[in-house]
A and B are shown apart, each in its own frame.
Chain A
Amino acid sequence: MSGISFKGVTKRFGGRDGEVLAIDRVDLEIADKEFVAICGPSGCGKTTLMRMAAGLDFPSEGTVAVGGKAVRGPGPDRAVVFQQFALLPWKTVKENIGFGLKCRGVPAAEREREVMRYVELMGLTGHENAYPHQLSGGMQQRVAIARSSVLQPDVLLMDEPFGALDAQTRVVMQEELIHLARRNPRTVLFITHSVEEAVYLADRVVVMSRRPGRIQETIDIGATRRAENWEAQAIEDVMDRDSFIHFRTRIWKLLRHRDEAAAAAQRPARRA
């Protein structure tokens, strides 16, 4: 059982000019094997939230637990796909993808097999011996995704994993992720700026408000997805559905509305 639980989580960062309140009393329960997407404006604390689940940052108040245990540090049960890839520049594509398996002590032959499977799956064939700096941004991102996925972790934390991909590759990866998630369900915390991507992929979409980051609303997509069997359809067909458009518009409005409200609230505040 590997759900993620944020309870009353507040995160402040100390800086030169005082403290930054990045996350303000967030409560979020992600069930085991649930796929949750987080949407919100830049700087609202999405990455911070994910880093606390990964054990790379710790809450100032409240608790973050994975599988019922408070998070004390990073662990191989929670693999992270970073917003900036963070591939090891001195390792080849193959070595980067196989890194986690090597840490786990998987024998070389088995590692090679698994790595090559993901090389193929991610469309990296022919580049397996290249170094990261020889790859395009999109390819680097696919290596980063493969590096985490190959571990089959209980929890997958993904920070805008498709941000650097072109539109076509992005669609392919989204469909691939849905298939992977169906074949091999696991708990996923997925951060994205793309409302469509969130609606297409997630069981639940969490919409966050501008700093200080709070959860504005949580939208349940899973029931509709299952009822209409989205997973059996091509992404463009799903995107044409009324239900999809309805969700998308709703989330857009939440993001927009909040921005305007925040802007309005800020104008008089600046005088004070």
Chain B
Amino acid sequence: MTRRPGIAETAALTAAGFAFFFAVWWGVAASGWLPRAVLPTPSDVATTFMALIRDPFAGYTFQQHLAASIGRYLMGFALAAAIGVPLGLLMGWFRILDDVVSPLFEAVRFIAPLAWVPFAALWFGTGIGGPIMIIFSGAFPPCVVSAYRGAKLVDQRLIEAAQTHGAGSLRVIAEVLVPGSLPSIISGLRVSAGLGWQSLVGAELIVVSAGVGYLMVQGQSNLATAIVMCGMIGIGAVGFAIDVALRFVERRIKAQWSPA
């Protein structure tokens, strides 16, 4: 392996990366090579961003759109975790469930969240249900897969020890499989959180009230590319924050969990 850079070094390199990105963006946009309406400059976007924060666009300010998105996202993600993790654990424990559900699941999970948009709208409406279902369809597979893999990888001897001391299926699941697969579940939740957030724009294509995705759709139909970019930056920043936070949680839990 190569030498691990220090924190200061890492921060400097990261800053350099961003600086380079913005420089290129600015250079291309300012060169007049592309019309402003197609590629706004960073300062255009910043100005638009300040305006969006101050004045409502498409009914709400930027913060309100973002809050609506986050609320929707949290519901979809929570639902995916609440159903996916137990389902994965049960599939890892009960052979029958594994045989019945796994092939079906393996096929369905390759359908991209966006592909669900028409049905989500038809079945659950464009209010709360539809968007949540799309986020759910993005966040659900990693929850199931990580819990399932985690349960399958739990040391067989621990399961046997629990069983020979009187534990039934439920207790084995609760006291051996859950803690034993926790590191895997946590990793899965992190992936799931990311994919759920990625599905958000798709989810909000069908939303008719508020949300960053909705903001972007409205911006696009007004040919206001700077607004679309503001939405993209908002999504990128929140997604990055979610990932950093969950990485931190994951590291903490794994450090506490893995026996020396």
Contact = CB atoms under 8 A, between A and B. Distances in A.
B165 A133 contact: no
B161 interface: yes
Contact of A74 (B158, B163, B257): B163
Interface centre among A89, A104, A133 (most CB of B within 10 A): A89
B160 A86 contact: yes
B176 A88 contact: yes
A54 B160 CA distance: 10
A82 B161 contact: yes
Contacts of B168: 103
A133 B260 contact: yes
Nearest to A88: B158
A90 B179 contact: yes
B171 interface: yes
Contacts of B161: 80, 82, 86-88
Nearest to B168: A103
A56 B179 contact: no
Contact of B166 (A84, A87, A91, A151): A151
Contact of A79 (B158, B164, B175, B176): B164
Interface residues of B, number: 20
Contact of A103 (B165, B257, B259, B260): B165
B158 A86 contact: yes
B165 A82 contact: no
Contacts of B171: 103
B165 A148 contact: yes
Nearest to A104: B166
A114 B257 CA distance: 28
Interface string A83-122: 0101111110000000110011000000000000000000
A112 B12 CA distance: 56
Contact of A132 (B155, B157, B176, B259): B259
Interface in B129-167: 155, 157-158, 160-167
B105 to A, nearest CB: 28
Contacts of A54: 160, 164
A99 B260 contact: no
A80 B164 contact: yes
A185 interface: no
Assign chain A's interface to a size class. Answer: 20 to 34
B155 to A, nearest CB: 8
Nearest to B159: A86
Contact of B162 (A73, A99, A132, A133): A99
Interface centre among A87, A91, A103 (most CB of B within 10 A): A103
Contacts of B158: 86, 88-89
Given A56-B160, A84-B157, A88-B176, A99 B165 contact: yes
Given A84-B157, A86-B158, A88-B175, A100 B165 contact: yes
A82 B157 contact: yes
B164 A89 contact: no
Nearest to A83: B157
Contacts of B160: 54, 56, 74, 80, 82, 86
A76 interface: yes
A89 B158 CA distance: 9
A84 B155 CA distance: 12
Contact of A76 (B166, B175, B259, B260): B166
A78 interface: yes
Given A82-B157, A133-B259, A133-B260, A103 B167 contact: yes
Nearest to B260: A133
A133 B168 CA distance: 26
B172 to A, nearest CB: 10
Contacts of A75: 164, 166
A74 B164 contact: yes
A157 B164 CA distance: 10
A103 B164 contact: no
A58 B143 CA distance: 35
A56 B165 CA distance: 12
Given A78-B164, A88-B158, A90-B180, 13 more contacts: A54-B160, A56-B160, A73-B163, A75-B164, A76-B166, A82-B157, A90-B179, A90-B257, A99-B165, A103-B165, A103-B167, A133-B259, A133-B260
**In the complex, the 10 A-B pairs of residues with the closest C-beta atoms, listed nearest first:** A76-B166, A133-B259, A103-B166, A100-B165, A86-B161, A74-B163, A80-B164, A90-B179, A86-B157, A89-B259
9 contacts: A78-B164, A82-B157, A84-B157, A88-B176, A100-B165, A100-B166, A103-B171, A132-B259, A148-B165
Interface of B: 155, 157-158, 160-168, 171, 175-176, 179-180, 257, 259-260
